[in-house]
Amino acid sequence: MALDVKHLHLASRDHSVSRRFYEAYFGFRFDSLFPRGDQPEATILRSAGGFQIYLEGANSDRLPGWFHFGLLVESDAACRELHDRMRQDQVPIARPLVSEPFTNYFCTDPDGHLVQVYFDPHAI
């Protein structure tokens, strides 16, 4: 059985701010709102490839310091260009751009989630 991870739930203090971040830098688009009964509804964002991010309500639970998720870009140049754009826009860069063992860097989203942006030719 071949498995493919297709969604991720993230706590978000302000869905509109988080939505703009993932749209501006990673090409996600608004998909829909997901009702949660007596809890705040989730905002669903979808990538062109079908991956979904569910923006949930704010949460004060702490994740381990190593926790992150990675977004694979299409080339080394795309990784470097996005890094430069994020720096210019003053997006917090948590770990600098490196080229070994593959081109990558880490930034934080508006809620402080650690996001690895990378190009690994072996992952394509």
pLDDT digits (tens, 9 = 90+) for 108-122: 999 999 999 999 999
Considering only CA atoms, which of 104, 24, 16, 10 is closest in space to residue 57?
10
What is the residue type of 19?
R
Considering only CA atoms, which of 122, 90, 85 is closest in space to residue 103?
122
Please count the CA atoms within 13 angstroms of the CA of 107 that sit on its side-chain side: 23
Q: How far apart are CA 106 and CA 103, in angstroms?
A: 11
Tens of pLDDT along 60-76? 888 899 999 999 999 99
Domains 1-59 and 66-124 share a fold: yes
The DSSP call for residue 121 is: G
Tens of pLDDT along 22-57? 999 999 999 999 999 998 999 999 999 999 999 999
Task: Identify the band that residue 10 occupies on the pLDDT scale cut at 50, 70 and 90.
Answer: very high
CATH 3.40.50.12280 at 66-124, yes or no: no
SS3 track for 90-105: CCCEEEEEECCCCEEE
Q: How far apart are CA 76 and CA 101, in angstroms?
A: 12
pTM of the model: 0.92
Could you give the dihedral angle defined by the CA atoms of residues 26, 83, 71 and 10, in that order, rounded to the nearest 10 degrees? -70
The CATH number of 1-59 is 3.10.180.10
CB 7 within 8 A of CB 54: yes
Which value, in Å, is the radius of gyration of the alpha carbons in the chain?
15
The full set of domain ranges for the chain reads: 1-59, 66-124
